[in-house]
Amino acid sequence: MDDLELEIKQLIISSLDLEDISSEEIVSNEALFTEGLGLDSIDALELGMAIQRKYNVKIDAQDKDVKSHFSSVSNLAKFISSSSKEKSNVDA
């Protein structure tokens, strides 16, 4: 399992107080909202804030791709990874 994906799974569990699930039970390509893990819009806000704090990335709720970024753990990992690379290129 990718280290970033594992971190995201642990962040989901801790930031949303999901005490009855382990990171191993979250499937990286499974949907996070509605079906799959079953998160809702409040969870999305809390998770978005936690990701912004932990990874120092900007999440624009108006961005047309934001729903896609949050669709699964693997998509979140891709988004965070690419955002971090863009930020380091700007800072360089």
Quickly tell me which residue has 């290129």 as its tokens. Answer: 89
Listed by start position, the domains of the chain span 3-16+27-83
How many Cα atoms occupy the beta-carbon half-sphere of 24 within 13 Å? Answer: 0
Pair 84, 12: CB distance under 8 Å = no
Q: What is the pLDDT confidence band of residue 36, given thresholds at 50, 70 and 90?
A: confident
Check if CATH label 1.10.1200.10 holds for domain 3-16+27-83: yes
Single pTM value for the model: 0.88
Q: Could you tell me the pLDDT band of residue 89, with boundaries at 50, 70 and 90?
A: low
Q: Which two tokens stand for residue 68?
A: 């896609």
DSSP characters over 30-56: S-SBSSTT-B-HHHHHHHHHHHHHHH-
